[in-house]
């Protein structure tokens, strides 16, 4: 039986396409607003957030974030911003930040499939995913540095992927970097020829979702909780989480399987 057969019906949206994959327990969330370069209007952001929340409650183990058309995402839709009062901009930026947080908070592994240019909040979307693979045709930019609206919130996610001076170079200059540079700086995991992108995304996501889904969900959450803590607090938190996680059924099954020299039998996510 296809993994997708065990999923609830996928929701339907105007600007986002949600598709469980046939051969893997993964879901693809695709920005489908190519005529607007996948600009992140408020409606588009709300749909992406709803899609991510839907996936969180499915048996999926991985999520692919992708974009249709010639651009991965051009960032915020400036038509939402021209002349907008402060309250409307606060709602837009707050919705965007909530989406980015959701990508780190759901138990599934998230991976960005970047085929082309990702700018501003589009670059933030890449940085907010757990993993990212880009085609050699992709590029990345925080263009606010050479414009009139600095990329402050995109820099939150980007600065947690890059060394400070690299993050500030990207943000202050506003200049794009190519995929090879993004890989060297640490913004993405790897760059591949465009015709190998889908295979590379699937390969990395399969390898990142092996083993116990329950254990991995605990580990992902703990990573984001500890990564910016001072070292002593990070060890205190991680030690407590790891000790508690030893008591879940999958941990005991993994230990038993190792000692008995047999393949482990782990439970599906949410079971």
| SS3 sequence of the chain | CCHHHHCCCCCCCCCEEEEECCCCCEEEEEECCHHHCCCECHHHHHHHHHHHHHHHCCCCCEEEEEECCCEEECCECHHHCCCCCHHHHHHHHHHHHHHHHHHHHCCCEEEEEECCEEECHHHHHHHHCCEEEEECCCEEECHHHHCCCCCHHHHHHHCCCCCHHHHHHHHHHCCCEEHHHHHHHCCCCEEECHHHHHHHHHHHHHHHCCCCHHHHHHHHHHHHHHCCCCHHHHHHHHHHHHHHHCCCHHHHHHHHHHHHCCCCCCCCCCC
- Confidence grade of residue 54 (pLDDT, cut at 50, 70, 90): very high
Region class of 37: left (phi > 0), else alpha (psi between -120 and 50), else beta: left
Q: pLDDT tens digits for 194-218?
A: 999 999 999 999 999 999 999 999 9
Give the residue-averaged pLDDT of 181-188.
98
CA–CA separation, 4 vs 11, rounded Å? 14
Comparing CA positions, the residue from 139, 152, 137, 145 lying closest to residue 169 is 145
Q: Does the pLDDT at position 96 exceed 90?
A: yes
33 Cβ contact partners less than 8 Å away, ≥ 6 residues apart: 15, 39, 41, 44, 68, 69
Structural domains of the chain ordered from first start: 3-208 (3.90.226.10), 213-260 (1.10.12)
Residue 165 · residue 138 · CB < 8 Å: no
- Confidence grade of residue 270 (pLDDT, cut at 50, 70, 90): low
Determine the pLDDT at residue 110.
Answer: 98
Comparing CA positions, the residue from 145, 119, 138 lying closest to residue 189 is 138
- Confidence grade of residue 8 (pLDDT, cut at 50, 70, 90): confident
- Confidence grade of residue 271 (pLDDT, cut at 50, 70, 90): low
Does the predicted TM-score (pTM) go above 0.85?
A: yes
CA–CA separation, 195 vs 221, rounded Å? 33
């Amino acid at each position: 039986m296809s993994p997708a057969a065990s999923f609830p019906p996928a929701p339907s949206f105007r600007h986002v396409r949600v598709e469980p994959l046939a051969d893997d327990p993964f879901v693809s969330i695709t920005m489908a607003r190519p005529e607007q370069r996948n600009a992140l209007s408020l409606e588009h952001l709300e749909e992406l957030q709803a899609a991510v929340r839907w996936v969180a409650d499915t048996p999926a183990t991985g999520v692919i974030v992708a974009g249709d058309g010639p651009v991965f995402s051009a960032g915020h839709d400036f038509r939402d911003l021209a002349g907008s009062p402060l309250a409307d901009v606060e709602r837009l930026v707050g919705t965007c930040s909530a989406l980015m947080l959701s990508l780190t908070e759901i138990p599934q592994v998230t991976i960005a499939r970047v085929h082309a240019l990702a700018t501003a909040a589009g670059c933030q979307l890449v940085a907010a995913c757990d993993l990212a693979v880009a085609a050699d045709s992709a590029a990345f930019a925080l263009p606010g540095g050479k414009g009139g609206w600095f990329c402050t919130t995109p820099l939150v996610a980007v600065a947690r992927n890059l060394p400070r001076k690299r993050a500030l170079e990207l943000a202050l200059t506003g200049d794009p970097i190519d995929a090879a540079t993004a890989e060297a700086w640490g913004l993405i995991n790897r760059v591949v020829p465009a015709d190998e992108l889908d295979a590379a995304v699937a390969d990395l996501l399969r390898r990142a979702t092996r083993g116990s889904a329950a254990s991995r969900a605990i580990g992902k959450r703990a990573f984001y909780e500890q990564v910016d803590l001072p070292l002593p607090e990070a060890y205190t938190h991680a030690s407590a989480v790891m000790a508690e996680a030893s008591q879940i059924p999958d941990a005991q099954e993994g230990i038993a399987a190792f000692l008995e020299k047999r393949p482990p039998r782990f439970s599906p996510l949410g079971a």
